[in-house]
Structure 1
């Protein structure tokens, strides 16, 4: 089956569609990271988005792109937390029923937040693949419309609106650092940026524990990757063996991929709090962490996407208090 390409025009249309439904978050200079990197470093503060993460953009664009019939039958999605929160918020705003399926690995604070937004939550199995089976059952038996967290044209286009804002806020942009999971975020941003400034370097940042896209890129095809407990829990989950969009887009548009260990991610969270005075979840802190660890050395003005703040605050307190936290050992 042929797949229609996602275009820069789709991202421009998404920006108009979601205007007024999502925040245009600020891009702020980071003096501490600029001094460390020897280049101007700016933080795109998407953790200040209404639902605490970038996922609201793609979810809102997808919901507002539905037909009346699709709205009437409701939507369902699988999530590690942030997509579910964005989808629940967007569905509530549009008066659409939403069911969010998640694995037992999703932190309870994210589950509770989705319930609070009015969506029905179903906890299924111990991986996103397990939760996806329930999504597919609801689509097949109840006729609901699936809105996946990343591999969906409207979702990718919605996330790509961040790239347009980055270009406007930093006209001499040389590089962007973007958290990498299923690839919807970085695919949209890379497309938006490279359509206007193909010389801008796009680097994806992931964790060593279960970096599905990084493993798949190395293998040359979508590949199953075991999920493991990680401070960057929002970057967990596979990319799907039948991936239709994001694998090819990341392969073709992203210049480099970097992975971080748990200690490096923890340092990113601590930096966000003590130096930037922001609460940032592990998956949102990986760009800052990569700079601090010296795993990315920018060659010019750089935007670091801080993608989310939805961390369990007890865990956050332990981390900023310099406690060593190993979630894998705790789960054993």
Structure 2
């Protein structure tokens, strides 16, 4: 039994975030997928976070966290570690709000994501070969330069911002029964689960990740945050650990997720191809995992389903190579 059932992020916090970020982020469409609906035997809809200005959901959490800061904290400048999309979100929000941002990334972050962040005017630091290495640099800069950290996921304001997706899902699909959500550090999955479970307690929230280095899955299996080796994967935005001192997202995912599905690299590639060929959407590996889980028959859908398409920032050459391959 969970000793403290009160979640670290509340529905009220998500609702306040929705008010705070209104007009600064896009209220993204929820569109039906006839092909996936036919395959699953249930109504399947795609929540297209690819429509955000940065091409990914991360803008919600970053914008909410930065707007929640006082003026002094913003003036000191912002710093974060990122596998790409969060860094892009912080850089975009910082530019919109007129503050400086430093983004720390490992050498595993794809070049197209690094260049997209640089184009937004942020200072780039490439450090080490893992998200943990990048986070070490963030902590050093916080100590030496007094920069203000914007965590990529383990932060109540970031989680509340991501949870605004859940509010939109319930508004647009009132009879929602299942949500398939990409799972990495747990900010997206945890935030959506807070909102959806509060409004639709019977709805199921299924986290979807890759077999290579699924940190939250390993932590939940162990009953506590554990170190996980980061590996190269098509779902690069899902890479990195959850932090051994995780304060927010581990608890949310442990208590609110109804299951976790892990995918092979071939299955993720199939999801990317399906998005391009059948949905006419350019989707990165992390954004395609919900689609991939349906295609691989790794999840049973019970009633109307929303699939979170979390981002579309895939290297164009990799994307072209993937969609050009014939399926076996």
Normalising TM by the smaller chain, what interval? over 0.9
Q: CA–CA distance in 1 between the matches of 2:199 and 2:264?
A: 34
- The DSSP-based 3-state class of the residue aligned with 2:281 is coil
Question: Is 2:8–2:252's contact at 8 Å kept on the other side of the alignment?
Answer: no
- The DSSP-based 3-state class of the residue aligned with 1:285 is helix
Tell me if 1:183 matches 2:192.
no
* Number of residue-to-residue matches in the alignment: 323
Aligned match of 2:17 in 14, 28, 34? 14
Aligned match of 1:284 in 270, 273, 287? 287
Q: CA–CA distance in 2 between the matches of 1:260 and 1:83?
A: 23
The alpha-carbon deviation at position 4 of structure 1 amounts to 8.5
Which structure 2 residue ranges, 5 or more long, are not aligned? none
- The equivalent of 1:258 in structure 2 is 261
Q: CA–CA distance in 2 between the matches of 1:85 and 1:46?
A: 14
- The equivalent of 1:327 in structure 2 is none
Tell me if 1:162 matches 2:165.
yes
Question: Is 2:209–2:262's contact at 8 Å kept on the other side of the alignment?
Answer: yes
Which structure 1 residue ranges, 5 or more long, are not aligned? 325-332
Give runs of aligned pairs for residues 59-138 of structure 1, distance below 5 A: 59-138=62-141
For normalisation by structure 2, the TM-score amounts to 0.97
Tell me if 1:237 matches 2:240.
yes
The alpha-carbon deviation at position 24 of structure 1 amounts to 0.4
Q: 1:4 to 1:287 in 2, by over 3 A?
A: closer
Q: CA–CA distance in 2 between the matches of 1:95 and 1:138?
A: 20
- The equivalent of 2:202 in structure 1 is 199
4+ residue runs of structure 1 moved beyond 6 angstroms?
A: none
Q: CA–CA distance in 2 between the matches of 1:205 and 1:72?
A: 37
Q: 1:4 to 1:142 in 2, by over 3 A?
A: farther
For normalisation by structure 1, the TM-score amounts to 0.96
Q: 1:4 to 1:263 in 2, by over 3 A?
A: closer
Q: CA–CA distance in 2 between the matches of 1:60 and 1:323?
A: 40
CA offset digits 1:245-275 (Å, max 9, x no partner): 0001100000000000000000000000000
Q: CA–CA distance in 2 between the matches of 1:48 and 1:271?
A: 18
- The equivalent of 2:30 in structure 1 is 27
- The equivalent of 1:329 in structure 2 is none
Give runs of aligned pairs for residues 209-224 of structure 1, distance below 5 A: 209-224=212-227
- The equivalent of 2:154 in structure 1 is 151
Aligned match of 2:42 in 31, 39, 42? 39
Question: Is 2:103–2:125's contact at 8 Å kept on the other side of the alignment?
Answer: yes
Q: CA–CA distance in 1 between the matches of 2:40 and 2:224?
A: 34
Tell me if 1:246 matches 2:249.
yes
- The DSSP-based 3-state class of the residue aligned with 2:286 is coil
- The DSSP-based 3-state class of the residue aligned with 1:42 is strand
Question: Is 2:7–2:251's contact at 8 Å kept on the other side of the alignment?
Answer: no
Q: CA–CA distance in 2 between the matches of 1:165 and 1:87?
A: 22
